């Protein structure tokens, strides 16, 4: 196609301009397109994050309404860590702090556990124990609250039954002593009322360790860790929350015996059964101390007979832990007149 001189000159000028400015123009257009796409992508991602955060925030509100201190801590932490750029991150931090502040002003046994769960979740064990101590004043005969209280104790301080990080709280006996005082408060509550509060088998197994560690004189961190990691049963430190002179985890299934702390003397041919809950599998050594081992005619663990050697010991493999439906049982069949002074079952 032929162009006149004026048209050809315009075309040549346009070509020259494009050769000079074409690349920058394309770059600008490309960047503009990328910017628009990036902005739309950011809007989509932000909308998606906000939608996810809103779902988590609804769960947080549900946990607050249910006074579920443990979930309040985990959900609010998740919102702050994962969705801190949305409005729900700061809101979650505010809700969690307000929850603790509101509960701390209420005097009620229903408040103690969720408030203590929250404080334990954020690592403030002093405030957690303060909440449990205050709640104990109102709990009285509510067995469920007492059981949750000792379960929370275990989660806080037992590096085997609770969490590995709990070992740091055993470096001295400060927290341990406060938990023992909680047990002593329960004993006093039972002494003051007609209806006794009894704990779960898992609570009693934990208390067995707690009381054994409390008896260390002088207190030693390594020895305390050893107790919590290896003790399956020690009759010298069994809890007796109802104060009837019989360990709470012991039962006389046949005959009759006279108790003296964790020791007993058979008044007639008797079968005495101890129950415990294990948190560590492995080889456990059963040791029975008696001035007349011949009077211990038979022993069994979970219904399986074991043979005691001349020193009253036997090693048993234990693989049924605390998540099972039933606690582990140790049964001793004892002749009349025989005194069993001490029974231990420790992981080797």
Per-residue pLDDT tens digits for 305-329: 999 999 999 888 876 655 555 789 9
CA dihedral sign, ordered 149, 155, 157, 159: positive
What are the residues whose beta carbons fall under 8 Å from the beta carbon of 70, sequence distance 6 or more?
Answer: 117, 118, 121
Q: What is the pLDDT of residue 33?
A: 66
pTM over 0.75: no
Mean pLDDT of the 183-207 span: 92
Which residues is 344 bridged to in the sheet?
Answer: 234, 287
Residue that wins the pLDDT comparison between 31 and 23: 23
Q: Above 90 in pLDDT, residue 24? A: no
Under DSSP, is residue 138 helix (H, G, I), strand (E, B) or coil?
helix
Indicate if the pLDDT at residue 172 is higher than 60: yes
Rounded distance, CA 174 to CA 172, Å?
Answer: 6
Residue 237 has pLDDT above 80, yes or no: yes
Q: Is residue 340 scored above 70 in pLDDT? A: yes
For residues 58 and 91, the answer to whether their CB atoms sit within 8 Å is: no
pLDDT score of 102: 55
- What's the mean pLDDT in 85-111? 54
Cα 213 to Cα 282: distance, rounded to the nearest angstrom:
21
Each residue's pLDDT tens digit, 31-47:
666 666 665 565 555 55
Residue 110 has pLDDT above 90, yes or no: no
Q: Is 345 helix (H, G, I), strand (E, B) or coil?
A: strand
CB neighbour class for 135 (10 Å; exposed up to 12, middle 13-18, buried from 19): buried
Q: What is the pLDDT of residue 8?
A: 57
Asked if the model's pLDDT at residue 109 lies above 60, the reply is: no
Does residue 94 surpass a pLDDT of 50? Answer: no
Write down the pLDDT at residue 195.
80
Nearest to 239 by CA among 285, 195, 289, 274: 274
7-11, 47-51, 201-205: least confident range: 7-11
Q: What are phi and psi of 329, to 5 degrees?
A: -115, 145
pLDDT of residue 77: 60
225 with 167: CB under 8 angstroms?
yes
- For residue range 257-286, what is the model confidence (pLDDT) as tens digits? 999 999 999 999 999 999 999 888 889 999
**Using CA atoms in the order 240, 242, 246, 249, what is the torsion angle rounded to 10 degrees?**
-60
How far apart CA 272 and CA 256 sit, in angstroms, is 9
Considering the chain, what percentage of its residues have pLDDT values greater than 70? Answer: 66
Strands (E), the chain: 231-234, 250-254, 257-260, 263-266, 270-276, 282-290, 296-301, 304-306, 313-318, 328-334, 339-347
Q: At what angle do helices 88-104 and 109-121 cross, to 10 degrees?
A: 140
According to the model, what pLDDT value does residue 181 have? 94
How do strand 263-266 and strand 339-347 relate by DSSP bridges?
Answer: antiparallel
Q: State the DSSP code for 196.
A: P
Mean pLDDT for 96-111 is 54
């Amino acid at each position: 196609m032929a162009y006149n001189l004026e048209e050809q000159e315009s075309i040549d000028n346009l070509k020259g301009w494009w050769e000079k400015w074409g690349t920058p123009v394309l770059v600008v257009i490309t960047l503009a397109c990328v910017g628009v796409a990036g902005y739309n992508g950011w809007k989509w991602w932000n909308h998606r994050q906000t939608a996810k955060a809103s779902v988590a925030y609804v769960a947080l509100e549900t946990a607050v309404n249910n006074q579920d201190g443990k979930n309040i801590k985990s959900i609010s932490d998740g919102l702050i860590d994962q969705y801190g750029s949305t409005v729900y991150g700061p809101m979650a931090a505010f809700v969690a702090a307000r929850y603790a502040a509101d509960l701390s002003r209420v005097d009620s046994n229903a408040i103690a556990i969720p408030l203590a769960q929250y404080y334990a979740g954020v690592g403030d064990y002093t405030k957690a124990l303060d909440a449990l101590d205050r709640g104990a004043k109102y709990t009285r005969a509510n067995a469920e609250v007492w059981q949750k209280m000792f379960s929370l104790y275990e989660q806080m301080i037992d590096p085997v039954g609770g969490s590995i990080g709990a070992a740091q709280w055993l470096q001295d006996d400060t927290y341990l002593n406060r938990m023992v005082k909680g047990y002593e408060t329960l004993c006093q509550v039972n002494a003051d009322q007609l209806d006794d509060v009894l704990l779960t088998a898992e609570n009693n197994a934990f208390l067995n360790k707690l009381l054994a560690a409390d008896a260390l004189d002088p207190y030693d961190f390594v020895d305390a860790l050893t107790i919590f990691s290896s003790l399956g049963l020690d009759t010298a430190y069994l809890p007796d929350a109802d104060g009837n002179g019989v360990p709470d985890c012991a039962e006389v299934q046949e005959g009759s015996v006279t108790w003296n702390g964790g020791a007993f003397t058979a008044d007639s041919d008797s079968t005495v059964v101890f129950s415990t809950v294990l948190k560590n599998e492995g080889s456990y050594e059963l040791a029975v101390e008696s001035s007349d081992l011949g009077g211990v005619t038979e022993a069994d663990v979970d219904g399986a007979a074991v043979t005691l050697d001349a020193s009253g010991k036997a090693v048993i493999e234990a693989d049924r832990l605390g998540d099972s439906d039933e606690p582990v049982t140790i049964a001793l069949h004892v002749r009349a007149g025989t005194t069993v002074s001490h029974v231990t079952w420790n992981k080797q």
